[in-house]
Amino acid sequence: MSTDQRPPRASSGIFRTKSVEQSIRDTEEPEHGLRKSLSAWDLTVFGVGVIIGTGIFVLTGKVAKENAGPATALAFVAAGIVCALAALCYAEFASTVPVAGSAYTFAYASIGELPAWIIGWDLVLEFALGTAVVAVGWSGYVRSLMDNIGWHLPASLEGPDVPGGTFDILAFLLVLVLTAILVVGMKLSARITAVVVAIKVTVVMIVIVAGLFFIVGDNYKPFIPPAVTPEGGGSNWDSPLVQLLFGYEPTNFGVMGIFTAASIVFFAFIGFDVVATAAEETKLPQRDMPRGILGSLLICTVLYVAVALVVTGMQHYTELSVSAPLADAFKAAGHPFYAGVISFGAAVGLTTVCLILLLGQTRVFFAMSRDGLLPRFFSKTHPRFRTPYRPTILLGVIIAIVAGFTSINELATLVNIGTLFAFVMVAVGVIILRRTRPDLHRAFRTPWVPVLPIISIAASLWLMLNLPGETWFRFAVWMVIGIVVYFAYGRGHSRLGRQGASTRS
């Protein structure tokens, strides 16, 4: 092996990197390896299952009325392009380093241990919070369906968002059931997800096809409404960070309103990166990971654009409701039956969103534990199911309790900033690993490196700047806590650090 082909030696500092070869060897340890059972189809189903959630039923109309009008379809395209840029970077890493942990593992192999810890800490929050928020949303849809048939829960068990409610029993039970499914095995999770996703996509297609018959051409005029500057001063913590820092005021409507809308509808795309957390459990990751990541993103983008065009064609954007725009558009057209279909599709669909977000979190936690940055107790797999059952049970119970007792709608934007931060780190990692390990076999190569990753970084940062200053503050607090935990525990227990110390001695 020539000098330029030898894996780099890990440094002893906080930026020591874990070689790709070592990461793959760790997956071969009997007690710490995961069962390979997933195909490209399973991965695509996972991606579609987690991406399509309430966004497609609610966010399209809300953004059309408040930010972009009929041009909301273009906002989905813009957000989809930002995700596609990141997806190309994820696809290269996931096919080159087919190890659980997603962006955490990628950062460890390219940037260093502390950045990897930070992104892992970020992902744990992102997936946990996302699971709890979606579980609460699912509970709301199910209660609505129950009310339609005359079933009612006691007020005290409807959750803290309901007057007189203290505990959301439905959200709590959902997370516990999904936790049990994940413990039993990935293939069972994939089969259940496939059935639910089939139902969810069928509902979306019914809505799109039915809506085509109620489109009125005049509702698309003007397709890009005149620009309007939103009310409110730049000193409000709810204002976008770009406004607080530079005084730039994002506009609603107009051409720039499309990009303002894109920073909002980006919520609807969150989840495709979760596919990368299942790389270690994929039969042929070098071939199937790129297909799963890019395929699921393409399918969802097409569906989002179609729904946006239908809802703005059925009802003029100024008349759309904010809470349930798609359902109310059908009611306005004289077809309330479809409103029930939409509620059913949303309730069914959100189960897979919760399942796959919980899956993503447990895999990141498992990978960090296997590296010693979290207690190694959590990195042992189940002797029969070969799943990371210990972190799955621990995190599942915690998230179930959080979903049951907490009203966390205000924290939902933390999921968004966490995802974009991961996008930035992965794009940086692709550039660095191309320079430090040009010898690595890459089954999928991100095109136009470093230009495309740099564009991805810039696009992600722009969307991050459009998030509220309050969100940035909460995110910074969580990151500071994470750095303290790393220096208090992770750095001293790192397997990579101990291996380096034993080598030097």
CATH classification for the domain delimited by 29-221+252-462, as one of 1.10.730.10, 1.20.1740.10, 3.30.70.20, 3.40.50.970: 1.20.1740.10
Q: What is the dihedral of CA 466, 428, 419, 372, to 10 degrees?
A: -140
pLDDT digits (tens, 9 = 90+) for 31-42: 777 888 888 888
On whether the CB atoms of residues 75 and 265 are closer than 8 A, the answer is yes
Q: SS3 sequence, 268-288? A: HHCCHHHHHHHHHHECCHHHH
- Ranking 146-155, 235-244, 252-261 by mean pLDDT, the lowest is 235-244
Mean pLDDT of 303-313: 92
Count, residues in the chain: 505
SS3 252: strand
Residue with tokens 């709890």: 132
Check whether 374 has a pLDDT greater than 90: yes
The two tokens of residue 412 are 């939902």
The two tokens of residue 11 are 């440094």
pLDDT digits (tens, 9 = 90+) for 81-120: 999 999 999 999 988 988 888 889 999 999 999 999 999 9
Residue 81's contacts (CB-CB under 8 Å, 6 or more residues apart) are: 459
Check whether 188 has a pLDDT greater than 70: no
The two tokens of residue 487 are 């220096």
How many Å apart are CA 270 and CA 202, to the nearest integer?
21
Q: What angle do CA 172, 176, 177 make, to 5 degrees?
A: 115
What ranges do the domains of the chain cover?
29-221+252-462
On whether the CB atoms of residues 10 and 500 are closer than 8 A, the answer is yes
* Helix axis angle, 389-405 to 337-370, nearest 10°: 130
Q: What is the pLDDT of residue 323?
A: 61
Q: What is the pLDDT of residue 412?
A: 61
Give the Cβ contact number of residue 305 at 10 Å.
18
Mean pLDDT of the chain: 85
Q: What is the pLDDT of residue 112?
A: 93
- Ranking 159-163, 243-247, 459-463 by mean pLDDT, the lowest is 159-163
Mean pLDDT of 336-361: 82
Q: What angle do CA 383, 386, 387 make, to 5 degrees?
A: 120
Burial of 169 by CB count in 10 Å (0-12 exposed, 13-18 middle, 19+ buried)?
Answer: middle
How many Å apart are CA 408 and CA 135, to the nearest integer?
11
Residue among 363, 375, 292, 372 at smallest CA distance from 35: 363
Amino acid identity for residue 377 in this structure? F
pLDDT digits (tens, 9 = 90+) for 240-298: 788 778 777 777 889 888 988 888 888 778 777 778 888 888 888 888 989 999 999 99
